[in-house]
Chains A and B, each alone.
Chain A
Amino acid sequence: MRPARFVDRPPILDVADTGPIPLPRRLDPIKEATLSTAYVERPLVEALDPTRPPDAGDVNAFDDVPRSSWFSPDAAAESDAAEPPAPPFRLLPGPTVTHEGGLAAMDARGRQFELWRDPVDRPEMATGAAAATSRILRALGYYTPGVWARDLSKADFVLHDPADDAAVEAFFKAGPHPKGWRFRVGVTRWPIGTDLGPTPTLGKRADDSNDRVPHQDRRTLRALKPIFGWLGMTEAGAAVLRDAYVGAPGSGHVLHYLAGLGGALGADAVVRPQPPRDDDADLAGRNVWVTLGSLGLYQQTSRLTPKQWPSLGEYREDVSLDDFRTGPPMEPMDRLLPADAYWAAKRIASVRAPVLAPALDAGEYHDDSARALLGELVRDRQRLTVRWGFAQVTPCEVDRLEQAGPRFPAAVILRDEAVSAGLVTAAEAGYRVELLDDDGKPWAKPLRLERVGGALFPVRLAETAPGYVVLRVKSAHSGREAPRAMEVHLVHGGAAWRVVGIVH
């Protein structure tokens, strides 16, 4: 296999896709069309297309995702979410989009919010999950609106007429019983700017000149498979991915949000004892072949979500990332490549306890045992997801580059992320390193490195090396070889070496 060749220049860190554009039209896809595309058309088309999905298109030379309107690794999206809602709320006309059946409202500072409630039988479940995951996703680099779990009463609303009064009454009645006089409410800061409808998961927005990468080939969206798997986001309907236009019409741009998060942490996957329903919603999760073969006469039973912790959804310590899919399935997730999975795992691994604990605290769970259990489950699944992602590739990164000195040749210091994360010990890790030129021809004998003593290990670069060098590294953890090698591309002009590209 001939390696790619990278241009000799620093990696791009910002794609600058926030230039001013005219206000795009709001998308409002028909649900049936979306479902028929997801469940029928795409499987047929994919069966007729043997080509591999292309590498992600929103990735820079260091195999990382630069800052964009989709991804903000330095938490630029936090500013809006930092300021909690300030009651009293005034009701606004129109339906809510991040959660069905809520109230659109404006707070005392004039900012718009969507207010919504938990399912009647699961107090704090959805509101807590949305508040927690919005913070976790933001820590991962995604744009999410601020979400807060609040206890509100009628006194937190400015009611202008009997219709407002009735709307608030109905809103409160739609969810669980109050604690005292206050009702648990999810408060989502939305819309931020102008809501443009659900983010298309296929193709690009034709009316957004900043939108240059087909969405199915965006790593930020492909990576949602392990991220949603970790966070138990099993539904990916129109409420979850939303586009918003920020700025004055004509001078603003589109930002892409993960907005409707009430289904996170297994909230959308709760399995309740369910009698047959006219809309067949109860058939979800059943074995379709049994249903087909038994002519629908055999009533399959499902493993029910425990009632012991009503504030927790169907969120267990085990998850099969390979099989994880949302409903409806998302094209980008289905095109996840090993490098995308690895990138996602790195991001997930970067969310440490100092971030996780306050995020889960934002869920405002009144049941301490539920909060403690949730913390354990989130950490268990995080570790499992990171392990899965790191196992897709050779999980090594360039830690630093040491230039040649009078007594030592130049060296690339590589870091094994799996060892760094404590998933394997250094003693269990070994590496085979091929040294190639840009045509893929070896210019030196391959190296085999064993028991390097830590997460870091050097690869020396001889003075006789060609001007463009590819280090192809394949790791073996506990004797099991990684399915893919990683590559470090280097150039040297004169005495100095530079890393110009990384491939996983």
Chain B
Amino acid sequence: MAPEEAASSTVLDPARVRGIEREALDTGDAGREAAAGALFIPRNLVKLVFLASGVTASLMRDEQVVPRVEELLSPKPGSFSVLPSLFLDTRRRASAGAQVLGNLGFAAVRLAGGFGGIHDGVGEARVGFALPRPLPFVLSFEGLIDTRSTLDYYGVGQEPGTDPRNLFLRKAATTDGVYFEERIRGLVTLGARIGQDFEWFVSSSILRSLVEDTPGGGPGTITSVFQPGSVAGAPSLSAAGCGVTAAPTVFRTALPTTSCPASSLITYTELAVRLDTRASKSRPSPGVLVGAYGGVAAGVGDDPSRFYRLGAQAAGFISVRRTTNILSPKLILDGTVRPAGAAPVPFTQLVGQPEFRGIDSRIDALALVASLDYRWSMIRYLGPRIFLDMAQVGPSMGALLKAPPRFATGFGFDFFSNSTELGQAMMSFSSEGVRVLFTFGVPTQFGDRQHRR
């Protein structure tokens, strides 16, 4: 039917175009609206999380040299992005934050802040300079300050509860000590890729660490569990005059603590080399990964610390039936070596097992993680994986190999693009419990060891 006349119009509001002066009323709408209201927060949380998407991932990868260095400069010069990030781990406090990512043309910049509670926060600034030619080359400067209030310390050894090196207080209510740590770190990294697959890094950092009882931690605080003086680098019990007067207080609040903070100031310089023959580091790809590192740490000022770090990893990525079905055995060995006569290594500087996907709760001078992953592609950009991890720690190689291993198994999904990882969802099971991890917009691997803690 032809209209009676065409209305003359300028830019019209959609409601005027529709010509409805009173909307229809559907009795079913009220319930739906109420349900939508109840789901407002989770719905918008999801939206917030996904704002990070691929932009975050591609820029975050700037921290690595092996990926195509040209990607470092791919964002348009002068452009900045403000993006949220989310980290959920049943073993850690969930944190949410935001980051400013940008490209100045000659450098990539990242400013990040995160909040996980009144005593848990992180602030980080990174500036990376990259040259794709004649040799892929990266120079980055970083500053970090963070506070974490619910870190666990079970003691050293594979079985801390029975390890004679751990001196528990007789009246301790638990064998799991919790502590608070504040770190301020400056880091310079220089890296280059030689040839197609080989790269090296030299990094040097200075780290100021402050360890004390978790504010309000009650009977589970580290000084309430371990005998005074038995844990190097742990806070001590004292009523007043702790002797530490320059403790950083950026995030720490004025809540009373039961301990006298332990402070350390350590420089650490490391050389790391890596051979990675995989065509892609994000999606399943066959190849070999071999790496090793060695570094020297020395206390500054009154800090008497002096120790070395050594480690290596080897992994194979073997295709099964198709290129992107990858069976991957992996072995990682990390160690801290104290020269004869040197002061004990602060417990926060001993090696842990961040690659172990069960409960990463064991530390010692040596740590070994062996894993077997099978990862395959379900659809493009989404790959399920199943895995089995084994972890051991010990004061020496002999003790390490004799220690009863801990196992964890689980499954997960990796979200990735052709060039970068986008996120990971994982669930692991071990005799110590279940761990669930979800990351999005946060890289799950870093270019050098100094980022692992």
Contacts and interface: CB of A to CB of B under 8 A. Distances in A.
Contact of B14 (A1, A16, A213, A286): A213
Most buried by A among B18, B32, B57, B381: B18
Given A1-B24, A45-B43, A49-B39, A276 B14 contact: no
B376 A37 contact: no
Nearest to B386: A295
B25 A1 contact: yes
Nearest to B382: A39
B54 interface: yes
Interface in B394-453: 415, 417-418, 420, 422
Contact of B417 (A19, A32, A209, A401): A32
A19 B12 CA distance: 11
A7 B21 contact: yes
Interface string B246-262: 00000000000000000
B33 A51 contact: yes
Interface string B308-335: 0000000000001111110000000000
Interface stretch (A56-64, A160-168, A179-187, A318-326): A56-64
B14 A212 contact: yes
Interface in A1-47: 1-7, 9-17, 19, 30-33, 35-37, 39-41, 44-45
B342 interface: no
Given A16-B11, A48-B43, A50-B36, A280 B283 contact: yes
B302 interface: no
A290 B422 CA distance: 24
Given A36-B54, A279-B283, A283-B379, A5 B25 contact: no
B25 A212 contact: no
A13 B8 CA distance: 9
A16 B17 CA distance: 11
A3 B280 CA distance: 58
Contacts of B58: 30, 32
A280 B39 contact: no
B95 interface: no
Interface string B222-242: 000000000000000000000
Contact of B322 (A52, A276, A292): A276
B340 interface: no
A109 to B, nearest CB: 33
Interface size class of B (residues with CB under 8 A): 35 or more
Contacts of B1: 62, 397-401, 499
A218 B58 CA distance: 32
Contacts of B244: none
Contacts of A278: 279-280, 283, 285, 323-324
A302 interface: no
Interface string A255-299: 000000000000000000000111111011010100110011101
A3 B422 contact: no
A313 interface: no
Interface residues of A, number: 73
A62 B6 CA distance: 12
B196 interface: no
Interface stretch (B45-53, B137-145, B178-186): B45-53
Contacts of A55: 18
A369 to B, nearest CB: 35
A66 interface: yes
A283 B380 contact: yes
B47 A292 contact: no
A297 B379 contact: no
A4 B29 CA distance: 14
Most buried by A among B33, B57, B285, B379: B379
B9 interface: yes
Contacts of A36: 50, 53-54, 415, 422
Interface in A327-373: none
Contact of A33 (B36, B54, B418): B54
A498 interface: yes
B54 A4 contact: no
Given A1-B26, A50-B39, A276-B322, A212 B19 contact: no
A269 to B, nearest CB: 15
Contacts of A280: 283, 324, 377, 379-381
Contacts of B378: 283, 288, 291-292, 296
- Closest 7 interchain pairs by CB? A32-B54, A296-B376, A61-B19, A33-B53, A276-B322, A41-B50, A48-B43
Given A7-B21, A37-B50, A278-B280, 19 more contacts: A3-B24, A9-B19, A11-B7, A19-B10, A32-B417, A33-B53, A39-B381, A210-B11, A212-B14, A276-B322, A278-B279, A280-B377, A280-B380, A283-B380, A295-B325, A297-B325, A398-B1, A501-B20, A503-B24
18 contacts: A4-B22, A4-B23, A6-B19, A9-B7, A10-B7, A14-B9, A15-B9, A32-B422, A35-B54, A37-B53, A40-B50, A48-B43, A50-B36, A61-B19, A278-B324, A279-B380, A279-B418, A283-B378
